[in-house]
Structure 1
Amino acid sequence: MKYVILIHSNPQPWGHPTGDFIAESQAQPAAQREQQNAEFEAVLTEMQESGELVTGEALGDPSTSRLFRWNAGAPVVTDGPYSEFKEHLAGFFLIDVVDQARAEEITSKFSGPGETVELRPAMWPGGDDQ
């Protein structure tokens, strides 16, 4: 089963890794932040070795995004992001795991102080959760 782990972050200031730019994370002792980073890297290594990590990408500053909407029968392009949100999509990981329990186990290791991480099943192809 494929799942997408979506990393949400506050865009001010913007940067990666997101934890380096979140006040709650910055307030932690350096040793604790270093341990969390090491644990995260260990999870990524484990997923790469097991074949569970399909891909992952950090996304650019949301102020550089463009929104495409349909209006009066034609696409309309505007500057993004959705400005009414306090958080923006910072990056994602696509994983392929045996079941939802494993996806949740992995995703629980992606969240840190002040971060929001979303787990969502991927629908491929054509609309069925696979």
Structure 2
Amino acid sequence: MKYLVLIYSNPEPWGHPTIDFTEVGRAIPEDERAAMHKEFEDMLAEISASGEFVTAEALAAPSTSTIYRVGSKGRRVATDGPYAEAKEQLAGFFVLDVASRERAEELASRFAGPGDTVELRPAM
């Protein structure tokens, strides 16, 4: 079963890993952040070795996006992004291929970092 792990964050300025750019992340002592980075890298090694990792990508700043819609009279309209008018924006994603929803939930909870929101969504 494939699942998408969507990571939303509000780093200022935009950058990855988001913990290094969010206010809450920067407040964590450097040695604790280093331990968190290692824990995350260990999880990535685990899911790579198990074959559960499919792909991942960090995304550029929302301000670099372009939104496309169909406007009045069926015309396509392009506007500068971001789409959502919220502080938290989509920062990146991981695609996992796991045996069960429970395993996907276990892994998704491990993706949540200080200042981030993680969404787990099954692929159709």
**What is residue 45 of structure 1 aligned with on the other side?**
45
**Cα distance between partner residues in 2 of 1:62 and 1:98:** 33
CA contact (8 A) 2:11 2:18 kept: no
Q: TM-score, normalised by structure 1?
A: 0.90
Q: In structure 2, give the amino acid aligned to 1:82.
A: Y
Specify every segment of 5 or more residues in structure 2 that has no aligned partner in the other structure, as ranges: none
Q: TM-score, normalised by structure 2?
A: 0.94
Q: Percent identity?
A: 58
Structure 1 residues 120, 83: closer, same or farther in 2, change over 3 A? closer
Specify every segment of 5 or more residues in structure 1 that has no aligned partner in the other structure, as ranges: 124-130
CA displacement, residues 74-110 of structure 1 (integer Å, 9 cap, x when unaligned)? 2111110025211110100000000111001111111
Which has more helix, going by share of residues?
2
Structure 1 residues 27, 10: closer, same or farther in 2, change over 3 A? same
**What is residue 103 of structure 1 aligned with on the other side?**
104
Query: What secondary structure does 1:34 align onto?
Result: helix
Q: In structure 1, give the amino acid aligned to 2:15.
A: G
**Cα distance between partner residues in 2 of 1:36 and 1:104:** 19
**What is residue 4 of structure 1 aligned with on the other side?**
4
**Cα distance between partner residues in 2 of 1:98 and 1:44:** 17
Shift of 1:53: 0.6
CA contact (8 A) 2:19 2:113 kept: yes
Query: How many residues matched?
Result: 123
CA contact (8 A) 1:11 1:62 kept: no
Structure 1 residues 11, 78: closer, same or farther in 2, change over 3 A? farther
Detail structure 1 runs of 4+ shifted over 4 Å in the superposition.
none
